[in-house]
Amino acid sequence: MKTILIFFSLIFCFSLSHALGECLQGDCENGHGTYAFPDGRKYSGQFKDGVLNGKGRLVFADGAVYEGDFKDWVREGEGTVKTPEGGEYTGQFKNDLWNGHGTYVYPSGMKYVGQFEDSRMHGQGSLIAPDGRVYTGVFQDNVLEGDGTIVYPDGRKYAGQFKEFKRHGYGSMTFPDGRKYVGQFKDDKANGAGTFTFPSGKQYVGRFKDNDFVGEGYFVLPDGTKVAGEHKDGDFFQK
């Protein structure tokens, strides 16, 4: 999967002077009021000492809408932001950015639940793809890196290491029919040393390249018998 970028961070500076805008109605000093900013934003909610503080609703000029907590002009606490493209984030905010635990639903229907840092997926989380795949693990700057799992809609499951959302490193892949591969992965495929177990219990131990048997290896039959040989051009030649 390509690196998924969250571009809905909506980084806006709220530290504008109160005098630059206009109080349209209510109490914009200490109470509830409606306030218009020069850049087209419109806020309705609580004020304290002439500053956005408490619960409120902020509509941006591009149509984005935030509802939730404010502190000293910025989004701080719990809230929900809806983007013009159809995305929606619900969770924790700090310093006007998505920081802490939250849920982001993409316009495509993809959904991420987990930790955010500065409006990016960062930390433990789960990403649910529209086709039903579920990625769970540690995200770094919007990318699944290190240890994690994928559960596929057809029942397959991978547990192991990732690099930029691809299976890369050591891991195991299990199939609904009983097949299982344990070993090295590279670029999202079995590459390197590994062990493949068939539904019958027979095993193959050797090297793999792009999910195929290659080079020298051996089969271990259910009764324990070992059959050594070499794979060439898709055929196994017994020694």
Q: State mean pLDDT over 130-159.
A: 95
Contact 160, 146 (CB under 8 A): no
Tokens of 161: 């290491």
- Cβ atoms within 10 Å of 92's Cβ, excluding its own: 20
Question: Residue 19 — very low, low, confident or very high, per pLDDT cuts 50/70/90?
Answer: very low
Q: Rounded CA gap, 167 and 180, in Å?
A: 15
Q: What local confidence, expressed as pLDDT, does residue 234 receive?
A: 77
Contact 137, 49 (CB under 8 A): no
CATH of 170-239, one of 3.30.230.10, 2.170.120.12, 2.30.30.40, 2.20.110.10: 2.20.110.10
Q: What local confidence, expressed as pLDDT, does residue 47 receive?
A: 96
Place of tokens 């240890």: 147
Question: Residue 4 — very low, low, confident or very high, per pLDDT cuts 50/70/90?
Answer: very low
Q: State mean pLDDT over 49-60.
A: 95
Q: Is the pLDDT of residue 145 over 50?
A: yes
Q: List pLDDT tens digits, range 204-235.
A: 999 999 999 999 999 999 999 999 999 888 78
Q: What local confidence, expressed as pLDDT, does residue 7 receive?
A: 36
CATH for the stretch 1-153: 2.20.110.10
Q: List pLDDT tens digits, range 74-96.
A: 999 999 999 999 999 999 999 99
Lowest mean pLDDT among 17-26, 174-183, 215-224: 17-26
Q: What local confidence, expressed as pLDDT, does residue 231 receive?
A: 86
Q: What local confidence, expressed as pLDDT, does residue 21 receive?
A: 86
Lowest mean pLDDT among 2-16, 45-59, 95-109, 224-238: 2-16
Contact 157, 175 (CB under 8 A): no
Report the amino acid identity of residue 109.
G
Tokens of 87: 């995305």
Every domain of the chain with CATH number 2.20.110.10 lies at 1-153, 170-239
* Closest C-alpha among 46, 51, 41 to residue 26: 46
